[in-house]
Amino acid sequence: MNTPLIDPFARAITYLRVSVTDRCDFRCVYCMSENMNFLPKAELLTLEELDRMCSTFIGLGVQKLRITGGEPLVRKGIMTFFDGMARHLTSGALQELTLTTNGSQLRKFAADLAACGVKRINVSLDTLDDAKFAKITRWGRLSQVLDGIAAAKEVGIHVKINAVALKGFNEDELFTLTDWCAREGHDLTFIEVMPMGDLGNEDRLDQYWSLKELRARLRDRFTVTDLPDRTGGPARYVRLKETGQRIGFITPLTHNFCESCNRVRLTCTGELYMCLGQEDMADLRAPLRASPENHLLETAIRTAISRKPKGHDFDYSRQKAGGQMTRHMSHTGG
């Protein structure tokens, strides 16, 4: 059981994204419905079960752990989980513990996160306009997020801004976001919107802004140099000569990143999705709860990894949202 996790396409699985809750204090239009039906709390893995699950994956070779949601910092008692994971950083078994957040709770938790060994975080932020921010998040306040980002900086946590590229929404803020990140010292990654969730209410095809076009617009203003950087994620990076900053692009539609995929995603109920863009999943909650020993769980994990597909089927090229996933992004954890 000590051999590493290798999928059918010879990719080592070293990165686990864990959703600790499906709840969030925002309702971003590309992630959730405004009136979400959340899971009964009894169905969620307890914090102790999440610790055991993640520790098992780490024992099988996972080196990077990203905590997601929903909004992970709204989970009651979540810092006890981060405290527990910190022991794997201390032992050297885990190389990085990080999270993706909307930033709303960072003023409250930034210092505690830093104390647990969190050195960098991703903050989802698609606009710097108050009115547009309220519209896209439905419930969010931009000032609260900006204050949270400032709190993270104050305790030495490096912030990367994730901005979903949305046609007709933040196209006019390309340079505003870029300049602000340069001034604040934040990395910036743009993400193509993916065909997931309730497409009856939100038309992903109308929202889709190709990052090929976005990159071309950056080249109109900046000297753009491709970088060989790889951070264990799907982003491809460039350097802007004039500002010195690094810009990332996550392009599941125009250029997918499946050939180097090293990750799987665990939901807050113990479902393991081997691919963000496929419906196949494995129930790990049942073997976790079936025995206090980890043999059944380890076997279930290895069986699931043996089913990891070569890639997703996301496609907008035929003027429809091909490869559409009916589950919301918040269910899988991004």
Across 201-228, b (16+ Cβ under 10 Å) vs e yields ebebeebbbebeebbeebeeebebeeee
Flag whether 327 is marked binding: no
* 275 annotated ligand binder: yes
Strand-pair partners of 138: none
Tell me whether residue 124 is annotated as binding: yes
Say whether 141 counts as a known binding-site residue.
no
Going by C-alpha positions, the residue among 65, 104, 101, 56 that lies closest to residue 86 is 65
Do the annotations mark residue 181 as ligand-binding? Answer: no
Residues 59 and 300: their CA atoms lie apart, in Å, by 14
* Identity of the residue numbered 33: S
- 100 carries a ligand binding annotation: yes
Can you spell out the DSSP letters for 128-165?
S-HHHHHHHHSS--HHHHHHHHHHHHHTT-EEEEEEEE
What gap in Å lies between CA 96 and CA 119, rounded to an integer?
Answer: 8
120 is in an annotated binding site: no
Residue 17 annotated as part of some ligand binding site: yes
Sheet holding 263-266, edge to edge: 224-226, 236-240, 246-250, 187-192, 158-165, 120-124, 96-101, 64-68, 15-19, 263-266, 271-273, 281-283
Phi (first) and psi of residue 184, to 5 degrees: -85, -10
**Is 28 annotated in some ligand binding site?**
yes
The response to whether 261 counts as a known ligand-binding position is yes
Distance in angstroms between the alpha carbons of the first and the last residue of the chain: 29
- Residue 277 assigned as binding residue: no
State both tokens at 217.
Answer: 């617009």
Q: Is 70 annotated as a binding residue?
A: yes
> Can you say which residues are annotated as belonging to the binding site for [4Fe-4S] cluster?
24, 28, 31, 258, 261, 275
> Can you say which residues are annotated as belonging to the binding site for GTP?
17, 66, 100, 160, 263-265
> Can you say which residues are annotated as belonging to the binding site for S-adenosyl-L-methionine?
30, 70, 124, 194
> Can you say which residues are annotated as belonging to the binding site?
17, 24, 28, 30-31, 66, 70, 100, 124, 160, 194, 258, 261, 263-265, 275
